[in-house]
Chain A
């Protein structure tokens, strides 16, 4: 708890400092003869925003249907942005999990990389006991050489549990509108957290292939396959609960943004 408080205080202070620093207006490049009452010749420091459902899809696992979402929204300027990110699933038995709901401040620190920090929560709901934890986040997101999209975060919960996750995506452009996306995600926990079926060590790996067709830049339905395999302690935990340690499913969904 102490650690969590410390971390969130740290990230909020950092965010504030960076935002204030970035927001502080310099004299701009205006000329020597300019009258201070004149409008600026250009306004290059405007804020933009976007809401994107990277994945909004149906999966069928062991005969039960599941809705999965993976969405991000951002708002801000070229270098400083606020991000809201969430991933989760909703099952046909009304149970589900908000795997993460993160609010982060993001700063572009080099041409292709953002440093991000913030707070978030993980919640399960529906059948069984409701589980919930809060955590602080520090991570980065960006574009690696050879066009790999990478998002990685270190999370430290209010109980001091610490885990690291990594997502990698790659797009193959088959035509100008038909794109095959490969994605892989994994996570590593530094300690066991039984409530969240998280074993110590590498938890598992999920890979997927999705073929999407852009009806427009904003709207692209897709079909694909996704496979998950639990590893190590996490696998043992799942087995003791009677859960499958590996699943594979067809997916159908849509990628869209506003």
Chain B
């Protein structure tokens, strides 16, 4: 495509975007979409700087055929247009706030000076109504990322978009089509209302709780005694094996590139061509399981960083993670299928060789239930020893209501330690285990391949070869009943200072999940090199899923001076206090 055409196309796109017509008209214009079907953030170039303009505003638009006026958009669309940067150049990002409240944009996964990271209260004051803030930083990396608000709960309302950085030397994987597949979850209710429901009514959105019928199903499968033991064990802990996602398909409309299944986003190819899908999970709360029935995927990058190719049939993508996959479709049409981790809903889209072609939409997998692995190794081995509490006098409970799970159970279990993290932590895992070779709960019945963290292997080692000189261990803690989420039992407002990293030190960060939920833990400003058993070939990540009962570790080079947010990327967990500042100095 010539420069002239590009410009013309951009003008058309801008006109469409400002008229709010983009989503309806775009599928009719596949001819324009050779490289990217998504609209781009318009670029101006001055010397070595690429200048982009963003306008953040409340916009009335249609989502899944329903009009909504609560959307907060960047340049008028959900998701925001694609921001395409180039490695080696200077990015100048001018963000105008046309809202009546503060806003911000955080460039997720991008290495930059901390003042440019876009977290109000940490990097800067935020962008006041009517103000324009200019972000400026050198682009020193490449790959698939995204950008979103770090203010209030704006992220839930459409304030997110894809960010792709072209390598300085050009793409090293040649493809015929390059599509962004941005997954998100939309609610027509106000996020404040969702938060309140989570806070006052445990399990408000969970319509997959265990029933009496499930108990009798267990009896049929494993006999009275085992069924009773299983039920008693979860009951003893006051934990539900069906707590998979806090906000489910009962509330959310799931979207691919802003379209629900009915909108059927379609990417085109000619059979035999090579297609790169840049899959981004921009959800507030939803882990997705992504597959394309009948089409093998080759994972080539995770969180924007290249990995040695892994062929797979399905992968779980946590909130805020990204995966690049290469596919080589030969049939007429394929369904892109992303089901929520709890199977309460899905969103589908299509890869087709001609507009209008579709493929069958697969069934949701059976509903998900956690097993004993969620409690770490100790419980998997000594499950029934937790059932020895007496229940005679109600008054007793206030006294011995500690954590039965933290009591030493046998000589071979490593005790969690004396700290049970206080009233904000409903459980502690006595003996957390590595679950890197486990794709996660809900795939047990499958006979096809599902990606695991242990399969991710970088092409080469990273510059900092030092062994860690220091270790920091943090526990992910929470209590579903009051919807309290924290690190080490203390929410952000309860700690009296940041986590300290010393300038340029090499350290190991160990995360232990003492809850019944998966948490996507995100560190701003620095890579986490996931220690997953491949020696120096650690994959670098900005967001790491920690499964229930799991202990994972990552190496970090603290080379980024300043303050950085560190938090669970489930938005309502973050808002509830699962948030810290890391200060590098």
A residues near B (Cβ < 8 Å) are 25-35, 37-45, 48-50, 78-79, 108-113, 115, 140, 142-147, 150, 152, 166, 168, 172-176, 217, 257
Contact = CB atoms under 8 A, between A and B. Distances in A.
Given A111-B481, A147-B235, A150-B394, 6 more contacts: A28-B492, A38-B124, A41-B492, A44-B576, A50-B200, A108-B423
13 contacts: A29-B492, A29-B495, A33-B583, A34-B122, A38-B126, A44-B577, A50-B201, A78-B491, A111-B422, A112-B401, A140-B395, A150-B394, A152-B395
Give the interface centre of A79, A112, A147, A257 by most chain B CB atoms within 10 Å.
Answer: A112
Nearest to A107: B423
B484 A78 contact: yes
B426 A28 contact: no
Nearest to A180: B212
Interface stretch (B180-188, B203-211, B435-443): B203-211
B493 interface: yes
A32 B122 CA distance: 9
Given A33-B562, A140-B398, A39 B204 contact: no
Given A26-B493, A30-B122, A109 B577 contact: no
A29 B126 contact: no
A37 B125 contact: yes
B508 interface: no
A22 B150 CA distance: 27
- Nearest first, the 9 closest Cβ-Cβ pairs linking A and B are A31-B563, A44-B577, A41-B121, A146-B235, A31-B581, A32-B583, A111-B426, A29-B495, A45-B493
Nearest to A214: B207
A39 B496 contact: no
A76 to B, nearest CB: 11
Contacts of A29: 492-493, 495-499, 579-581
Interface in B377-420: 389, 391, 394-395, 397-398, 401-403
A34 B423 contact: no
Given A34-B563, A152-B394, A39 B497 contact: no
A136 to B, nearest CB: 18
B95 interface: no
A146 B236 contact: yes
Which has the most chain A C-beta neighbours within 10 Å: B209, B482, B499, B562? B482
B403 to A, nearest CB: 8
Q: Which of A143, A146, A172 has the most CB of B within 10 A?
A: A146
Contact of A31 (B389, B422, B498): B498
A15 B154 CA distance: 36
A84 to B, nearest CB: 15
Contact of B391 (A27, A40, A42, A144): A144
Contacts of A168: 394
Interface of B: 102, 114, 119-122, 124-126, 150, 196-197, 199-201, 204, 207-213, 232, 235-238, 389, 391, 394-395, 397-398, 401-403, 422-427, 479, 481-482, 484, 491-499, 562-565, 574-577, 579-583, 585
Contacts of B122: 30-31, 34, 41
For B212, B402, B423, B495, the residue with the greatest tally of chain A CB atoms inside 10 Å of its CB is: B423
B401 A110 contact: yes
B496 A26 contact: yes
B425 to A, nearest CB: 6
Contacts of B495: 26, 28-29
Contacts of B423: 79, 108-111
B476 to A, nearest CB: 15
A186 to B, nearest CB: 10
A27 B492 CA distance: 10
A119 to B, nearest CB: 21
B40 to A, nearest CB: 30
Contacts of B200: 48-50, 257
A145 B496 contact: no
Given A29-B497, A108-B423, A111-B401, A41 B150 contact: yes
A146 B401 CA distance: 13
B121 A38 contact: yes
A168 to B, nearest CB: 7
Contact of B232 (A30, A143, A146, A217): A146
A48 B576 CA distance: 12
B492 A174 contact: no
Nearest to A143: B238
Contacts of B426: 111-112
Contacts of B575: 42-44
Contacts of A257: 200-201
Contacts of B210: 173
B481 A28 contact: no
B199 A48 contact: yes
A110 B114 CA distance: 38
A30 B121 contact: yes
Contacts of B482: 78, 108
A28 B122 CA distance: 12
B235 A34 contact: no
